[in-house]
């Protein structure tokens, strides 16, 4: 259910963000906001700048111009790891898993500040044994939530494309993010699993209060769960509105649906 008539704080704000790649303006003066606890969709034709925009927000590439704020702070020029530490976490269009590692190990990877990894604690088991146990339990719970617990000791390479997407979402939750940026979570995923992924996203917003910005071409799935939609075209923000408003928008139909 979309959140309505609830006053929320702005979680993410973009002001006139630009990105040039050798003469190509991939993102051309985009401004928008995402409120805390919202699920916002980012759609647009191939090459319209959606993935580039997610990379700019996550700090994996630097903007040519403009400003990006997260939870009220300017993160425009922060390195990606600092943005991650603040709780803004990005999933990739192709899951960036370690395919030879087990599901459990993949899930445990992103945990911040593990004591056993800090030189001053490493020699003293009692400092990190409990913590390590807690993390394994949490990872087990995450895998349970996405229906992958029974496969915890398999290699990630044994999973289907859809299961890999779910594993990546489970893994990105280990650091307790405040906001997730997801790039086509349902791409190449069988219909049933794709529905499960979107149901899981809706549940995470409801139960854990996670805010989402989701790029997705499968609009029938996306429009079921989003509060608001931004449409990109040629690097610019073409339109914005509720799913119903976007479906009725002639300009969007023309560039996106091709009629
Ligand atoms: N690292 C890069 N170097 C040069 N050009 C790039 C780079 N990354 C993206 N581009 C270009 O920027 C434009 C926007 O690409 P982007 O991947 O952001 O589109 P998209 O909206 O995510 O498309 P899709 O729906 O196909 O995933 C494209 O023309 C692309 O070729
Ligand atoms: Mg893309």
| Domain CATH number, residue 50 | 3.40.50.300
Closest listed ligand to the CA of 22: 1
Closest listed ligand to the CA of 217: 1
Which of 17, 23, 24 gets mutated to test ligand 1 (max ligand atoms within 8 A of its CB)? 24
Does residue 98 form part of some domain?
Answer: no
What average pLDDT does this structure show over 192-204? 90
Does residue 118 form part of some domain?
Answer: no
d(CA 166, CA 5): 31
Ligand 1 centre to CA of 140 (Å) is 36
pLDDT at 4 (0 to 100):
46
Partnered with residue 212 across adjacent β-strands are: 39, 180
What average pLDDT does this structure show over 225-243? 96
* CA 238 to chain CA mean position, Å: 22
Start-to-end C-alpha separation, the chain: 29
Ligand 1 centre to CA of 49 (Å) is 5
Question: What global pTM score does this model have?
Answer: 0.87
Domain count, the chain: 1
pLDDT in tens, 79-129: 998 999 899 998 766 667 888 889 998 888 766 555 555 566 566 666 556
21 lines ligand 1 (CB under 6 A): yes
Atom of ligand 1 lying closest to residue 54 CA = 18
Does residue 79 form part of some domain?
Answer: yes
24 lines ligand 1 (CB under 6 A): yes
Domain of 61? 10-87+177-257
Does residue 146 form part of some domain?
Answer: no
């Amino acid at each position: 259910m979309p959140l309505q008539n609830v006053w929320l704080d702005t979680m993410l704000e973009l002001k006139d963000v630009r990105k040039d790649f050798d003469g190509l303006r991939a993102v051309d003066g985009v401004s928008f906001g995402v409120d805390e606890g919202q699920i916002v969709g980012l759609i647009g034709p191939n090459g319209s700048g959606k993935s580039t925009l997610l990379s700019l927000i996550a700090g994996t590439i630097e903007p040519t111009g403009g400003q990006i704020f997260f939870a009220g702070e300017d993160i425009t020029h922060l390195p990606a790891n600092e943005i991650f530490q603040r709780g803004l976490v990005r999933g990739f269009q192709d899951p960036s898993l370690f395919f030879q590692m087990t599901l459990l190990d993949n899930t445990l990877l992103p945990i911040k500040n593990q004591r056993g990894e800090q030189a001053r604690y490493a020699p003293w088991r009692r400092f990190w044994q409990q913590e390590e146990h807690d993390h394994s339990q949490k990872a087990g719970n995450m895998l349970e939530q996405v229906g992958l617990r029974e496969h915890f000791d398999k290699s990630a390479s044994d999973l289907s494309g859809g299961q890999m997407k779910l594993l990546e979402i489970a893994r990105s939750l280990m650091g307790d993010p405040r906001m997730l940026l997801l790039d086509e979570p349902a791409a190449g995923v069988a219909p049933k699993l794709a529905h499960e992924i979107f149901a899981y996203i809706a549940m995470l917003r409801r139960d854990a209060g996670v805010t989402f910005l989701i790029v997705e071409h499968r609009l029938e799935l996306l429009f079921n769960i989003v509060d608001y939609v931004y449409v990109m075209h040629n690097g610019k923000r073409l339109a914005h509105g509720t799913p119903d408003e976007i479906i009725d928008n002639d300009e969007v139909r023309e560039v996106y649906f091709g009629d």
